[in-house]
Amino acid sequence: MPKEVQEDNPNTQDNNDDLYERFSFKTDKGQEPLRIDKFLMNRIEGATRNKLQQSINAGMVLVNGKDVRPNYKVKALDEIIVYSDMSPEEMEIIPEKIPLNIVYEDNSLMLINKPAGMVVHPGSGNYSGTLLNGIAWHLKELDPQFKEESLPRFGLVHRIDKNTSGLLVIAKTDTAMRLLAKQFFDHTIRRQYVALVWGELQNDEGTIIAHVGRHMRLRKLFEAYPEGEHGKEAITHYRVLERFGYVTLVECVLETGRTHQIRVHMKYIGHPLFNDDFYGGDKIVKGTVYAKYKQFVENCFAICPRQALHAKTLGFTHPETGKEVFFDTELPEDIKQVIEKWRKYTASR
């Protein structure tokens, strides 16, 4: 079962790809009446009154299982659950005409197949050209009256790395945001990734369990902590799809959603992702380094100049209809071409 974030835990949002954390509190018997935003500001690191009020208005704060208004005053033995990202205030998102591969869209949500190389949301060093800039343009085209600030993060509930391709779900209403965020937290979202990794895995399937957190010295990197001394719980299930001797095609199913989780977990078991420049996959990890083989690998790197990882499927309960929905995508051309090259290389040996 997923663990709830207790009130004495530090905020660990920066190592979570599922953007919404769940904070759980229970007031004591002597709790004096106090506005809920003031109560929560003292208990959630990084929270601001403005962001809390936005969360309350969006139905992301439940007291005793029910929505409340911002002026609600907590009382003794209230049970409070907060679904919120609690990240720093958003920077302005300027609509930009960027092509989007929209797999599905209705009034509640949209599914986008993100290409490799595209950043999901603006941040340091990436102020334009992001997925959210393109979504802002798209929503303006649909409704000229659309206000950029009308949805927190434009409905972004989760994210994938810049150089990972694949499916993202975007909420278009506050209700969809809340219900999708809850599904991500409760780990009921079904998502499958396909990755090409170095080496030949010993078993056809397995489960990797090791906390994932920031590297103690290199803060841009994440690390596996199998003893759980740092980071947050992370669980990845894998299954071999095809073997090519020096590399293996695998399917990865996430039980948790930590930043770089698959990349870190596969490195941890000795099988970094093919051409992953952060975690050692951008050099020859398996195979004898002779000229012809080295040239073959470099040609593969040129075809797929990023980690060979694709978020292939996404399934969840639709927040409006209550029905189970499931979406699947084809592998992108760069990964398909590299797989085919390895398939031919293996067959010729």
**Contact partners, residue 314, CB within 8 Å, separation at least 6:** 111, 167, 168, 169, 189, 190, 191, 326, 327
Return the axis-axis angle of helices 291-303 and 333-348, rounded to nearest 10°. Answer: 160
- The CA distance from 53 to 30, in Å, is 25
Q: Which residues of 176-212 are buried (b: 16+ CB within 10 A; e: fewer)?
A: bbbbbbbbbbeeebebbbbbbbbbebeeeeeebebbb
C-alpha–C-alpha distance, residues 75 and 36, integer Å: 9
For 107-142, letters b (16+ CB in 10 Å) and e give ebbbbbbbebebbbbbeeeeeeebbbbbbbbbbeee
C-alpha distance across the termini of the chain, in Å: 47
Q: Is the dihedral of CA 13, 154, 193, 276 positive or negative?
A: negative
**Distance, CA of 293 to CA of 151 (rounded, Å):** 51
- Return the active site residues: 161
Report yes or no: 19 and 156 within 8 Å, Cβ to Cβ: yes
Q: How far apart are CA 87 and CA 38, in angstroms?
A: 18
41 CB neighbour count, 10 Å cutoff: 15
Paired tokens of 313 = 């499927």
